[in-house]
Structure 1
Amino acid sequence: MNIQKTFTSPDLPLEDILNKVEEGKTQIPEFQRGWVWDDDRIKSLLASISLSYPIGALMMLKDGQSKSRFKTRLVEGVELTTIPLPEMLILDGQQRLTSLYQALKSNKPADTRDNRGKSIKRWYYIDIEKALNPNFDREEAIISLPEEKLLRNFRGEVIADYSTPEKEYETQLFPFREIFSSSNWRAGFNKFNKYNSEKVELFDKFEQEIIKRFEQYQVTVIQLEAETPKEAVCQVFEKVNTGGVALTVFELLTATFAADDYSLRDDWLAREKCFKKNKILSKLGNTDFLQALTLLATRARREQQLKDGVSLDDATAISCKRKDILNLTLEEYSKWADSLTTGFELSARFIHTQKIFSHRDLPYTTQLTPLAAIMTILHDKADNDGVRSLLAQWYWCGVLGELYGSSVETRFAKDLLEVLDWINAGTIPTTVSEASFNPARLWTLRTRNSAAYKGIQALLIRTGAQDFRTGISIDDQSYFDEAIDIHHIFPQDWCIKQNIPASRYNSIINKTPISAKTNRMIGGNAPSVYLCKMEKSAGIDNIRMDSIIRSHVIEPKLLRENDMNAMWQAREKALLSLIESAMGKSVLRSWSDSEEIFAESEEADDEL
């Protein structure tokens, strides 16, 4: 079998490579971040070449009719009136080539940084005598000078001047910018020294041992073929990128769209500004948006292909993986971006009806992605009571079944297809059929790191939980005005005095939504004490307080008697009933499991 090679790796003269950079025939793809090498690294690079040491292979992509179609820019320092189409794009070696071009070819000082990270401009020179002296380390022979080529003391007084060719000749500092055209500098050097035979011989030796090394230096260049797919180019770039910072799919797609003079970044910033005004969408990321849009685009492609007679097996798969996002076209983005923005807003409105009021309390940010895509397709149909009930069941199965924690891209695609089919009288989605809740999980839900923990908080608010002190239902207004959060029912200090294990009193079974002010009034008191205190200060009678307590699915009598064990068992059953109602399916109750967890309650929670 003949396997077509996707790259070549010739050794090319350094001077030829830099000439291509200078002519604009070798450019940088726009997705490459600017990243400046410091002064010491540039000197070390020049020293390595002067000793014919390897500086590592470069990696480039042949452009021309490339499928990649990235927007490109000139290497920093290159100035051209007319910019040609690139023949090569630098994938790895940007900083080496930028540093070498600015030090060896540019007529301007190189942009670099000092050891404190401060931006500086430097000219690079090599001391001829030190370079030829074997007792000197080569890097000691290479110096960099400020832009004005003057050295000053701490008072700003000039202590050395290298600002003219004559000063260079006098101090025998050879400028690296003359390395590939040294004849003129040699002529000036010889004339300055009145053709002194020792000086002529010195430069001859310098030319043979240093200059020739630069002129003859070869660099291995791995050249990817122009037909290399875009996702492969991006993957290769990230594997070899010596900058050490992975590119996001948004940055890569931004570079692709820029080739069509479209600023994806500006478009996103405008949308992000609107999203930030929404408490639920305030932290929505550009990758989340692109994933949802890719779901819609691949679904549309698939539907069109099926209409055109393409078989089900051969049609485009609905997907939003990295490679699928990178294959988005600008036409597809423009088609779906506005309607998807509305879809996210409809999703936030729906989530708000489930009594989740802010991004902080979203069980899964990831579940917004398929939900927004679904809402974009449904639009007004999502307001129908029957449709909204199905969406709620799907949503809570995802949350309480804890199905959106990892490997979510495949689930995104299945949910978009299956939920829409379900709403149109199809079969139950996999997320709903697969979801299950183990009663024992209630004992291990202890922090808001868990989606199910946040979900149960929302279910309690949705059920009509009222604040112990104010008696006001916890809706969005009271949620933000009163700083509602989940707090202990049997206070932590009281539990510690009763020798109750932390793993038990920190469980969601012993927690409920309460305002910060109410929680401060509870303090570390027993329930029998703080309930009386609250009734007295707030003017609440026993009957009304019992009603408030029941709104948290707590039996008032057990709380007033400080009977944590009995309250625990009763509330566990009540919470499971809430969960069953939200998921639309029964929970397999196994009390022996709960008893086993209680017996081992000193063990650490896997979330802590």
Structure 2
Amino acid sequence: MAEATFQTNPVLLHELLKACHAGKMQLPDFQRSWVWDEDRIKSLVASISRAFPVGAVMTLRTGGAVNFKPRPIEGTPDDIRPEDADFLLLDGQQRMTSMYQVALRDHVVRTVTPKNKPVDRWFYLDIRKCLDPQEDREAAIIGVPADRVLRSDFNRTVVLDLSTPEREFEELMYPVSRVFAWNDWNNRFLKYAYTHGRENLLPVIIDFFEQVISNFQQYQVPVISLASSTSKEAVCTVFEKVNTGGKALDAFELVTAMYAAEGHELRKDWYGKGSEPGRHHRLIETLRQGGQDRGILAEVANTDFLQAVALFHNRDRRRQAEVDGKQGKELPSIAPTRQAILNLPLASYKKYESVVEAGFVKAAKFLHRLHIYRVFDLPYQSQVVPLAAILADLGDAADHEANHGKLVCWYWNGVFGELYGSAIESRFARDFLEVPVWILRGGDLPSTIRDSTFRADRLKTMRMRLSAAYKGVNALLMKEGATDWRSGQTFDHTVFFGESVDIHHIFPKDWCLKNNLKWEVFDSIINKTPLSYRTNRIIGGSAPSAYLARLESADSDGPGIDRDRLDGFLASHLIDPALLRADAFETFMADRQAKLLRLIENATGQAVYRDTEIEATDEDETDEETFESSRTMEAAQ
């Protein structure tokens, strides 16, 4: 039986808060700041005052493999040091910080209103309301300003004055900051009561202690304590399960905390600091065009970047293992899994960070050469990671024409083989090992090329941008020299953004519906092509024969287009002009399907699998409602 890596024990709330005050319990540095508003604080105090459960907390004993930089609980003494921490509070920060601030610290609490306005508050228990079973307990928790005077009417009328201990006694308001100091408060109250002839209140005070204050003093919190031997992956998994109040904690934040313990600011590397832009900003700006809010690398996540770095680190480990005589299953995996990211040493990160960033920049230029300009048109976001790593590894050798051609072949096989939708980490590793060797030395084809197949009838099922292959066909058409039917311009990045180029129907949707064609037939990629916004406006919903005639005629938009030149423009889109002019939809679809298949074969270097069975994938939908939403989405681009 495996040794347990955690224990669950009830611990007095007071003991937990004292551990926070002494610095024995601190936060891992990645934990977000304390943000609870005064209403949530009141709700928490009310629950504890009635001995209601408020949930467990989770701690991690320090000194193990997970070396996070500790950070004191907000409001604790300034002389607390990171090395004072025996435990890190993984889950329960907001509750523990709130109770420390209001119940132990004995300072005014800086919080916010429900409308997020910063305020200073002292919190009190209204003794009479606490003892009234008809009163809502949260209504018995009172928050007052820093001067302890509650006013109304634009601060002109005093509603409640608790500015002195005597005023607190008179109003029967018990400061929450004294719930663990009952004896001191009670002695002072007894002196007040006998001095002011209010001995009749003593039974009330006794009841208040027994029914309310004792709940605070006896309150126990379930504590799940993770042992110092807990693995990094287990800690990451724990956070994903418990961190439901906000954004789930990912591997980047955990690595950030571990690097911080070694004095390195990973967050600064990625997000920048002050006026200094970080890597994330640089990637967003890479090849960003005028009028475009972000470049092709805008969706590269911090964990994507760490995956690429991990590929290099894991390969180094593997090579060293080979030198040490290990073989087969003894060799370390290269796959950039979450565990691999969590085990990425700071030294390796520093060694490869600049190399990998240069690889991502090269990946952006590579994609632009393939006429993939926008994140929206990127077949697979995931494929950018191995692409960047491979380009970083190849360096200048990637610029050689023959090497570039091989890399293009690998890329299109990944797209049209639709191989990057799942189980991608193992494919990252294989590609990173195999592709550079194949490009530079020849030999066996990479497994991504060997695994890639494309069925001829797959074109008929590609109807939405969710499909990587759908996007791939669009990019291939532009790469192979498709020209706009109105302007005759090829779709380089200037034209693409300047003319608002997008995928549009060749036989328009309205014409197809009027002619009783099935949407699942006419909406496939076979009947679509890249065109400028203005050209698509001229097309409208007319029959091809009609809109071609408009393009050839002189009008307010400019002189007409010569018929032969227009036929050349159509042919550049793999369209037979004669079939289009004859409105011969079925013949057109069969002819263009054959031409698109040859286009894909040329790109992948492999024959298309020609069979009659249509095999849809999860990336395509077949219901008309999804079709309509897809068209709305495309129209908005």
Q: TM-score range by the shorter chain?
A: over 0.9
Match of 2:35 in 1: 36
Match of 2:208 in 1: 206
167-176 or 145-154, larger mean C-alpha shift: 145-154
Question: How many matched pairs?
Answer: 601
Q: Taking structure 1 as the reference length, what is the TM-score of the superposition? A: 0.93
- How many Å separate the matches in 2 of 1:124 and 1:560? 80
- How many Å separate the matches in 1 of 2:251 and 2:388? 19
- Would you say 1:227 and 2:229 are equivalent positions? yes
> Shift of the alpha carbon at 1:43?
2.8
Following superposition of structure 1 onto structure 2, how do residues 157-172 of structure 1 map, counting pairs within 5 Å? Answer: 157=156, 158-172=158-172
569-578 or 83-92, larger mean C-alpha shift: 83-92
- Per-residue CA deviations over 1:560-601 (Å, capped at 9, x if unaligned) read 2221222111111101110111111111223x45799xxxx9
- How many Å separate the matches in 2 of 1:438 and 1:242? 43
> Shift of the alpha carbon at 1:312?
3.5
> Shift of the alpha carbon at 1:465?
0.9
Q: Which amino acid counterpart does residue 593 of structure 2 have in structure 1?
A: E
Match of 1:550 in 2: 571
- How many Å separate the matches in 1 of 2:626 and 2:454? 17
Following superposition of structure 1 onto structure 2, how do residues 571-586 of structure 1 map, counting pairs within 5 Å? Answer: 571-586=592-607
Match of 1:446 in 2: 463
77-86 or 394-403, larger mean C-alpha shift: 77-86
> Shift of the alpha carbon at 1:247?
1.0
8 Å contact from structure 1 (residues 486, 511) kept in 2: yes
8 Å contact from structure 1 (residues 6, 224) kept in 2: yes
8 Å contact from structure 1 (residues 503, 605) kept in 2: no
Secondary structure in 2 matching 1:298: helix
Select which of 345, 358, 363 maps to 1:347.
363
Question: Unaligned stretches of 5+ in structure 1?
Answer: none
CA change 1:605–1:303 in 2 (3 A) is farther
174-183 or 566-575, larger mean C-alpha shift: 174-183
Select which of 506, 526, 537 maps to 1:489.
506
CA change 1:594–1:96 in 2 (3 A) is closer
CA change 1:407–1:121 in 2 (3 A) is farther
Match of 1:335 in 2: 351
> Shift of the alpha carbon at 1:200?
4.1
CA change 1:460–1:199 in 2 (3 A) is same
Q: Taking structure 2 as the reference length, what is the TM-score of the superposition? A: 0.89
> Shift of the alpha carbon at 1:340?
0.6
- Would you say 1:304 and 2:320 are equivalent positions? yes
- Would you say 1:477 and 2:485 are equivalent positions? no
CA change 1:135–1:328 in 2 (3 A) is same
Question: Unaligned stretches of 5+ in structure 2?
Answer: 272-277, 288-294, 631-637
- How many Å separate the matches in 1 of 2:378 and 2:53? 53
Following superposition of structure 1 onto structure 2, how do residues 149-164 of structure 1 map, counting pairs within 5 Å? Answer: 149-157=148-156, 158-164=158-164
171-180 or 381-390, larger mean C-alpha shift: 381-390
8 Å contact from structure 2 (residues 130, 137) kept in 1: yes
- Would you say 1:260 and 2:262 are equivalent positions? yes
8 Å contact from structure 2 (residues 335, 425) kept in 1: yes
8 Å contact from structure 1 (residues 91, 241) kept in 2: no
179-188 or 25-34, larger mean C-alpha shift: 179-188
Following superposition of structure 1 onto structure 2, how do residues 66-85 of structure 1 map, counting pairs within 5 Å? Answer: 66-85=64-83
Percent identical pairs in the alignment equals 44
Select which of 522, 532, 538 maps to 1:521.
538
Match of 1:291 in 2: 307
8 Å contact from structure 1 (residues 399, 452) kept in 2: yes
- Per-residue CA deviations over 1:305-331 (Å, capped at 9, x if unaligned) read 212333342222001111111111111
Q: Which amino acid counterpart does residue 540 of structure 2 have in structure 1?
A: G
Match of 2:46 in 1: 47
77-86 or 516-525, larger mean C-alpha shift: 77-86
Q: Could you list the runs of 4 or more consecutive aligned residues of structure 1 that deviate by over 6 angstroms after TM superposition?
A: none
8 Å contact from structure 2 (residues 371, 492) kept in 1: yes
8 Å contact from structure 1 (residues 421, 427) kept in 2: no
Match of 1:420 in 2: 436
- Per-residue CA deviations over 1:86-112 (Å, capped at 9, x if unaligned) read 111111221221111111111222344
Match of 2:633 in 1: none
8 Å contact from structure 2 (residues 34, 97) kept in 1: no
> Shift of the alpha carbon at 1:605?
9.3
Secondary structure in 2 matching 1:565: helix
> Shift of the alpha carbon at 1:553?
1.0
- How many Å separate the matches in 2 of 1:561 and 1:57? 73
Secondary structure in 2 matching 1:9: strand
Secondary structure in 1 matching 2:603: helix
Match of 1:505 in 2: 522
Secondary structure in 2 matching 1:525: coil
- How many Å separate the matches in 2 of 1:457 and 1:425? 30
Select which of 238, 241, 244 maps to 1:239.
241
